[in-house]
Structure formats: structure tokens, C-alpha cells
Chain A
Amino acid sequence: MDLRLSDDQQLFRETTRKFLESTCPLETVRRLADAEPAGFDKKWWKRGAELGWVSMLVPEEDGGGSISGHGLLDLVLVAEEMGRLVSPGPLVPTNVVAAALARSGTPTQRREFLPGLVNGDTVAAWCLGTPVAGIDTAGGRVEAAPRDGGYVLDGVTGPVEAGGQADLYLVTIHTGDGVTQCVVPSDTPGVAVGPAHGLDLVRRYAQVRFDQVVVPPDGVLGVAGDAASDAERQLQIAVVLQVAEMVGALDRAFEFTVEYAFDRYSFGRPLASYQALKHRFADMKTWLEASQATAAAAARAVDTESPLAPELASVAKSYVGERGPAILQDCVQLHGGIGVTWDHDLHLYLRRVVTDRSQFGTPSDHRERVAVAMGM
């Protein structure tokens, strides 16, 4: 958590935490994993939307609005709290798409799509049909043929988060020598959803196929062939939210692992009394605070569109993406045998953090972006 929160932000964070604790505790997450094909309950998502979960990156004139005037910093609070409880819901993709529409959408596009996203009636997914901003797409490709001022899309993307639940896709493709983005409602003829699998218990993935899908001219978002900086911005937002979620998850897992070390005895002493273990906790605490620090710095840089934003987003992703799983595996180790069981909650956190680590660029992908930012 950023140490410099306003009173309103604190209040918002507490409200979000209480809402999540009362409506979606870990038992509910476990139940949704088996019982809910979508991974989340749509009515629940709509209640979250009423709290502002999809408003923050959308200006007031489009029905959105933030707490502090720094929408991304407010949204980061939601992502952290969702990380603490490994909550379900398409927070990242829906907000990324909403931010893209708010940034580059025509008045018609904004009027057509934003209200539903903001009030929680619809959700959105981001389909990468081409590598953007140095981040590969696991082989998925969508080709685009120009037609009548729009495009015809052909190809497959995925695994796409919330691909099977989304009402709206933002498709990023390569056209000519530039990047183009299209908005494609999921009921457009030629769009089909195929199965994909995810490590997280409640985060759903799908393949999204495009078979001769016609995108009319008003389906193009922003300037055709000139959307690379929009896509870069979307990546930065996705990364900031992912990192915040990882930090929230790590913070909670570390908290209950410390408690466990006080409560569990071996050789007549609490685990917390052994120097060998104390030193590991000290290392973990150091990495955790470092993760908090870099997450907050990245969020601030991306929020203000600082020239350092591309680098600082990648610094945070590569650091937390590398340290996060290492901290959690240490938590497993310090729990002993119980730490590798299904019934213990640690694996929920491990699954979430490994998922976030791996999507939208691995730590090495982001180190390569840092190398580029350094002028190498």
C-alpha cells in the first residue's frame, strides 16, 4: 500500500475490504471455483461496479469518476484488496478496455460501450492479435485485411482473460507498418470462443477466434495504424494493476505466515524463535517492502504519464514478478507439510501470483524493456 493515501482513499480502501470480506471470503472463492463457470457472479460484479471498480479510469462526462483525481491510484487500491482475498472478477481486462475507450474512443463509441462497462452490466477483454510493446502473445495472431475503411479480421488469440465472459473485445492487430485497435462486440458474426485453461481457481481464460469478422470503420479505436502508444499505455495499466494485485496477495500471505510462525512450536519453541527462520522472515519482509515501494512508484508514474512510466512499470513487473513467487514458496516452506495441501489457502495465493507473473510479460520480457529504456 502506498504510504501517502488521502483520507478519502483510506475510506475507499476500507469500504472495498469490508465488501470483499463479507461478500467473497476465501470459502466463496473456493466454491466459485467449482460451481461458477464464469468464475464470478455477475450480480456481485455489478455491486462492485457500484462501488467504483470500473469508474476510475473513465472521466465523469462518460459516467465515470475517481476518488482522488488520480484514478489509477484509486483503482490500485481495489486491485490490492482483491489480491489479498484472491478475488474473482475481470478487473484488469475490463478496466484496460474502459481506459482505452475513454482515451481514444469517438463520442459514439464512448456512448455505446462505456455506460455498460462502468455500471457492471457488461465486461470486456483485451485480445492481443500481435506482439505489442515488446510483449509476445504466445503465438496467437490475427490478420487484418482492409475493407471499406474498416477491416476483416482472421485468426486466433488467447488465452484471453475473461474471453468467454466478455461482451466486448478490444483487438490489437498489426496493419501495414503500424498497430491498429478495433472494438468488436462478442456477438459479431464470425467471433467464436474456444476453451483455454488457467492456473488460478477463479480467473477464466478462453481462446477467441475471428473468422472473417467484419469491423466497420466506426469499429476502429483511435487512429488506424497509429495505436502503438495506446497499446503501450494499456500494457502499463495492466501491469500496474497486476503488480498491485500481487503485492496485496503477498502482503496477506506473509501476514498469516508470520502468525503461523508465532503459533507453531517445534522442540518446545515457536518457529519464530529460530534465527535460521527469523532471517528468512527478515529477507521476505525486505522484499515485500521493496515490492510495495516499486508498485507504488510505478502506479504514480503511469498515473501521471511520466516519461519514466514505461521503464518504471517494467521495473515493478520484473521485480515483483521475480520476487513474488519466491516469497510465496518460502511461505510454503515455512508452513511445512500443510503448505502443499489443497485445503490450505497458500496455493490460492501462489496460483494468483504465478498467473500475474506470467501474463502481460514475464520478468525477463520486462527486463528487456528496461534494457531498451536504458538505451542498450
Chain B
Amino acid sequence: MSTTDTDGIAEAGDDGGESVESFRTRARAWLADTMPPLPDGATNQLLAREDESGERARRLQRLLFDGGFAGISFPAAYGGQGLSRAHQRAFTQESLPYQMPTVFNVPTLSILAPTLLDFGTEEQKVRYIPAMLSGDELWVQFLSEPSGGSDLAGLVTRATRDGDVFVLNGSKIWSSGAFRSDYSLCLARTDWKVPKHRGLTMFILKIHQPGIEVRQIKMVNGTGEFCQEFFDDVLIPATDVVGEVNDGWTVASRLLFHERDATGGGSPYVSGVATAAAGQDGQRSDLLELARETGQTADPRVRQLVAEARVNDRVQSQLVERVTTGIRTGAFPLPAGAIPSLFAATNTERHFDIGLEIAGAGAGAWIDDDADRWGETYLLRQGLSLGGGSNEMQRNIISERVLGMPREYAADRDKPFDEVRHN
């Protein structure tokens, strides 16, 4: 038996299993034989944009699964490989030149699967996690609602118990990629007579079924990633409750912890992406390439800017490493995960600002339509600062739950939810 950490992931090298280096060698050979290389100049991010339906990602994920390289840090009992973070890191490093199903990382494998591992019943884990790892099922989170996202516990989508089923009515919004996805974790209100955190339940919800309408929402950059869903008397079997009825906040809090890990770059379940956890510090090279393409690498001002972005990226991965270690060893409380999330979001804001500066006039008007369009990239600058909990929410968490400062005044504290004013 291998020793495991608080999060149940194997530690490298202490179970007599395959060493990281031997695994790396095997992975390298397998990748070369099996996975399609990235075409010149392409990135997995760009390819994912062209794969709106997700069919390409599902095929690639299936290749990983059949080859024994899917879910490297997931337990073998649920279709994973049961290996350590170090094995996952090694695999990611080897995988960077190849096409990878990166769409599966967030939220399916890094947020929703770990939440099911934490709270799902044995039947739920056996039914759903292998299907994620094999590329058969993509997942999405149904949390935010038109009435508000930051005040998640104040949501108003209603699930009413009727014998062995719950009846769902209401609407979810900003769910990324719901149109191409199969399942969701959906948080809904099951008791209106108690204060808001105590009347929520988390459900596994099949997306494409009678009573659910999914609409794509056009985003500022023209893509239709965002969706809104409308629920009209959708029937959910009671066996699809995750955790306890009316204890959905506990499950949601854990989900949000995994989300901070994923957005901050510390998740051990992300594969094939040069995140901080992958040990590929400072790999973002888009600004250096922009400086090269625009012939500005000798300009001292541009050198300062490109180097500043590199410094921030390096520090980001060092910070992820520090906070992940701190949380795992108990030196930091769980909410400290908000620290790398806030850093990643503000670093991204700065990264886009620097790109805009280096792009110069080309950010606003251009001739060559194939060139990287920094202006358009810049339009989505706030994405990471809102999605996964806004920067303001992260700052509340850090000041209140890491530094112990007084909580914000809340007009709804301890009040039965049906007496609370809401949108």
C-alpha cells in the first residue's frame, strides 16, 4: 500500500511502484507512438477553440485512457492510474509537444471529479469518474444564476422533493461549454425556511434531457462558450444527490476549493498544460513572441516589460508551490488557496496590459488578419478575475479566513431564506 496525503494522492517513490523516471521514459515513447503532434505554431488552446463540439478532445482523451495515461493521480478503482503528483508532472512535461484534450481539465477533471471523489457515493464514483476519464462524458458546473454569482448561497433555483425524485425549476447562467457537455453538478435550494447556507443541495444533473433548455450566449470575443439553462419541472432521482440533502453548501465549499486549486494553477488533476503545478515555470512565451514578431526585442522598454511578465509567471508558480505545500502540511488553512487564485488573476490582468503595450497601434487596427490580435485577447482580460470567484471574493476570503478579520455585514445572516430580500 502506498502512503497517501490528506487528499488521498499517492506520494512518489514510497510504494515500490514504478519510479517517476521509468514512467517518464515509458510515457515519452508512448506519446511519440500515439498522440498527434501539435502543428507548427498551434497551441492546444487554439485547437480547442476550433473544436467547439469537443469531439476532438473526446477522441484524444480516449487515446490517453486506452493507453493507461488518463487520470494519472486518480485512484485506480475509478479508472485512474493511482500515481503521484510527480508522475503527473512528468507526464505533462513530456506531453507538451502533442495535441492534448485540455478541455477535459477544467472543470471536469480538476473540479468536478475531485468533488465527487470527496463526497460521492461508491455507486456515483464508479458510474461517473471512469466515464470522465475515458472521454465519454464532459461535465460543467451549474452554480451561478442570473440573480447573482458572488452570493452563491443566495441562489433561487428550486428543487422540491416529491417521493423518490426532486423537481427542479429555475435557471443557471455563465456555465462554460454546457452545450457540448453531458453532466453537471447543480446546486439548488431545497429548504426555504432555514438560513441560506442550510437549505441547499448538490445534484448530479444530466444536461440534455426533457425540461432543460440550453442557450449559448455570445461573448465579447465572439465565441459562444457561455450558456444559460432554463429548468422546467426537471425530474432528478434522489440517488443523484451528492452529499446530504440540505448540506449542499459543504459540497459546494469543497468544489470551490478545488476550483481555486485549478484556477490558481495548483491542481494535481490537470494534464497536458504547462501550469505551475506542472513544474514548467514561466513557459508562457506569447509576449516574447509578440516582441520578436514586432521587431522590438532590442527596445529597453519592451525588454523590461517582457521580463516583468516572466518574473510574475515565475513567482506565480513559486507561490503555488508554497501554498500547496503549506495547505498539505497544515501550515496554512484551506482558504489560503485564495492567495494563488488572486495572484493568478491579477497577474493575468497585468499580462494582458503588457501585451497591449507591446502590441502598440496594432492592438486597435491591423492589416494582416492572421497576426495575433492582442486587442481582442485583451477584451477578455477580466475572465479569470470573475470566473471561479471574483477577485473581491478572494480578497474577502483572505482577509476574513486567513487573516481573521471581521466578516462583512450581511443582511441575510441567520434569517430564514424566505424572509431575505433577493434579486
- List the interface of chain A (C-beta within 8 A of B): 3-4, 258, 261-262, 270, 272-273, 275, 278-279, 281-283, 285-286, 289-290, 292-294, 296-297, 311-312, 315, 318-319, 364, 367-368, 370-371, 374, 376
**Which secondary structure characterizes the binding site on chain A?**
helix
Tell whether, in the assembled complex, residue B322 and residue A296 are in contact, meaning their CB atoms are under 8 Å apart. yes
- Choose one: B307, B339, B396, B397; the contact of A370 (CB below 8 Å): B307
- List the interface of chain B (C-beta within 8 A of A): 288, 291, 297, 300, 303-304, 306-308, 310-312, 314-316, 318-319, 321-323, 325-326, 329, 331, 339, 342-343, 346, 392, 394-400, 402-403, 405-406, 408
Tell whether, in the assembled complex, residue A282 and residue B398 are in contact, meaning their CB atoms are under 8 Å apart. yes
Tell whether, in the assembled complex, residue A289 and residue B396 are in contact, meaning their CB atoms are under 8 Å apart. no
Tell whether, in the assembled complex, residue B339 and residue A289 are in contact, meaning their CB atoms are under 8 Å apart. yes
Question: Which of A262, A297, A368: most chain B CB closer than 10 A?
Answer: A297
Residues of chain B within 8 A of A262, CB atoms compared: 405
Tell whether, in the assembled complex, residue A293 and residue B331 are in contact, meaning their CB atoms are under 8 Å apart. no
Considering the chains assembled together, what is the distance between the CA atoms of A65 and B359 in angstroms?
52
Q: Can you sample 12 A-B contacts with CB below 8 Å?
A: A3-B322, A272-B405, A275-B408, A278-B396, A281-B398, A282-B342, A285-B399, A286-B342, A286-B343, A293-B321, A297-B318, A368-B300
Residues of chain A within 8 A of B394, CB atoms compared: 282
Residues of chain A within 8 A of B311, CB atoms compared: 315, 318-319, 367, 370
Residues of chain B within 8 A of A292, CB atoms compared: 322
A376-B291 contact, Cβ under 8 Å, with A282-B394, A370-B311: yes
Tell whether, in the assembled complex, residue A371 and residue B304 are in contact, meaning their CB atoms are under 8 Å apart. yes
Residues of chain A within 8 A of B304, CB atoms compared: 364, 367-368, 371
A294-B314 contact, Cβ under 8 Å, with A282-B395, A289-B323, A367-B308: yes
A285-B307 contact, Cβ under 8 Å, with A292-B322, A293-B319: no
- Chain B nearest CB from A146 CB (Å) reads 35
Tell whether, in the assembled complex, residue B315 and residue A279 are in contact, meaning their CB atoms are under 8 Å apart. no
A282-B399 contact, Cβ under 8 Å, with A4-B325, A261-B405, A376-B297: yes
Can you list the 5 inter-chain pairs with the closest CB atoms, starting with the nearest? A278-B399, A282-B398, A282-B395, A293-B322, A367-B307
Considering the chains assembled together, what is the distance between the CA atoms of A376 and B399 in angstroms?
40
Considering the chains assembled together, what is the distance between the CA atoms of A255 and B308 in angstroms?
28
Tell whether, in the assembled complex, residue B343 and residue A290 are in contact, meaning their CB atoms are under 8 Å apart. yes
Tell whether, in the assembled complex, residue A294 and residue B303 are in contact, meaning their CB atoms are under 8 Å apart. no
Considering the chains assembled together, what is the distance between the CA atoms of A222 and B259 in angstroms?
53
Tell whether, in the assembled complex, residue A279 and residue B319 are in contact, meaning their CB atoms are under 8 Å apart. no
- Choose one: B306, B310, B319, B405; the contact of A290 (CB below 8 Å): B319
Residues of chain A within 8 A of B343, CB atoms compared: 286, 290
- Chain A nearest CB from B282 CB (Å) reads 8
Considering the chains assembled together, what is the distance between the CA atoms of A289 and B333 in angstroms?
14
Considering the chains assembled together, what is the distance between the CA atoms of A120 and B149 in angstroms?
61
A279-B318 contact, Cβ under 8 Å, with A315-B311, A376-B297, A376-B303: no
A315-B342 contact, Cβ under 8 Å, with A270-B406, A281-B399, A282-B399: no
